[in-house]
């Protein structure tokens, strides 16, 4: 499968330039909300690495799949299915999207990405996040955005309670919405926590003719 549809490419881009990431979790009372955010913060601190399968769905319902590799702080890799010439890699400081079809590379600071909260376990979620109701005690939804930079968009992370996962929570996925209302949903499965992940997993090959390899 080649990535002919520009909306599919846009959906992938939505993962990168949005901005300060956040979470939103479900609970009625302020005290409960604070407790929920503390649980999410604890989960992030206790998860040094994660691998998972992902399915990405854009606003038109088009779906792509692939493998996610995460290593805190700051490192992440979205390896898309065969035939999709895109790769998104975070190396600890920058988030880079490589489009091998058009030989284009673009980069943003991780801190300006919607994935910032996910990748930085020391980020204070109380400044950016609010808990959203889900209708289930087993599902936590946390919305994160930077109130000072609305142009960065919003990300909503969803967790489910899982005694076998760090801090009793498992990240099920997230929805990113940019300032142009481009919506991208990521659903995770087969999550594995705190597995050995080599730093070489976050290297990539530069497709531009002036720079070979990285």
The first and second tokens of residue 3, run together, are 């990535």
The more confident residue out of 38 and 110 is 38
Q: Decide if 206 is inside a domain.
A: no
The more confident residue out of 10 and 86 is 86
Q: Decide if 211 is inside a domain.
A: no
pLDDT band at 13 (very low <50, low <70, confident <90, very high): low
pLDDT digits (tens, 9 = 90+) for 100-143: 999 999 998 877 766 777 887 777 887 888 899 898 989 999 99
Cα 188 to chain centroid, rounded = 10
Q: Decide if 209 is inside a domain.
A: no
Q: Decide if 96 is inside a domain.
A: yes
Residue in the structure block whose two tokens are 């009372």: 29
| Per-residue pLDDT at 24 | 35
* pTM for this entry: 0.81
Q: Decide if 214 is inside a domain.
A: no
pLDDT band at 157 (very low <50, low <70, confident <90, very high): very high
Q: What is the mean pLDDT of residues 147-163?
A: 84
Question: Which residues does residue 160 pair with via DSSP β-bridges, in sequence order?
Answer: 139, 170
* CA-atom Rg of the chain in angstroms: 17
pLDDT band at 214 (very low <50, low <70, confident <90, very high): low
| Tally of domains in the chain | 1
Alpha-helix residue ranges (DSSP H) falling in 47-178: 116-119
CATH number at residue 185: 2.50.20.10
Q: Decide if 57 is inside a domain.
A: yes
Of 143, 73, 152, which Cα lies nearest the Cα of 113?
A: 152
Residue 130: which domain range?
A: 6-201
Residue 153 near residue 19, CB atoms below 8 Å? yes
pLDDT band at 192 (very low <50, low <70, confident <90, very high): very high
Q: Decide if 213 is inside a domain.
A: no
Distance CA 38, CA 18 (A): 24
Q: What is the mean pLDDT of residues 1-29?
A: 46
pLDDT band at 59 (very low <50, low <70, confident <90, very high): confident
pLDDT digits (tens, 9 = 90+) for 76-99: 999 999 999 999 999 988 889 999
| Per-residue pLDDT at 12 | 61
């Amino acid at each position: 499968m080649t990535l002919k549809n520009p909306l599919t490419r846009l959906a992938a881009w939505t993962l990168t330039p949005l901005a300060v990431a956040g979470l939103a979790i479900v609970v009625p009372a302020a005290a409960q909300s604070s407790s929920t955010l503390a649980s999410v913060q604890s989960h992030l601190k206790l998860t040094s690495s994660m691998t998972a399968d992902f399915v990405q769905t854009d606003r038109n319902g088009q779906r792509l799949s692939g493998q996610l590799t995460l290593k805190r702080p700051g490192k992440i890799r979205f390896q898309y299915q065969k035939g999709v010439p895109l790769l998104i890699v975070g190396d600890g400081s920058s988030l880079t999207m490589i489009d091998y079809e058009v030989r284009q590379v673009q980069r943003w600071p991780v801190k300006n990405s919607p994935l910032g909260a996910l990748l930085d376990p020391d980020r204070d979620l109380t400044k950016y996040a609010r808990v959203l109701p889900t209708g289930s005690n087993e599902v936590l939804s946390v919305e994160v955005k930077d109130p000072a930079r609305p142009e960065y968009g919003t990300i909503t992370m969803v967790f489910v309670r899982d005694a076998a996962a760090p801090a009793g929570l498992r990240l099920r996925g997230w929805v990113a919405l940019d300032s142009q209302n481009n919506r991208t949903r990521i659903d995770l499965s087969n999550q594995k926590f705190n597995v050995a992940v080599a730093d070489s997993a976050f290297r990539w090959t530069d497709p531009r003719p002036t720079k070979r390899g990285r």
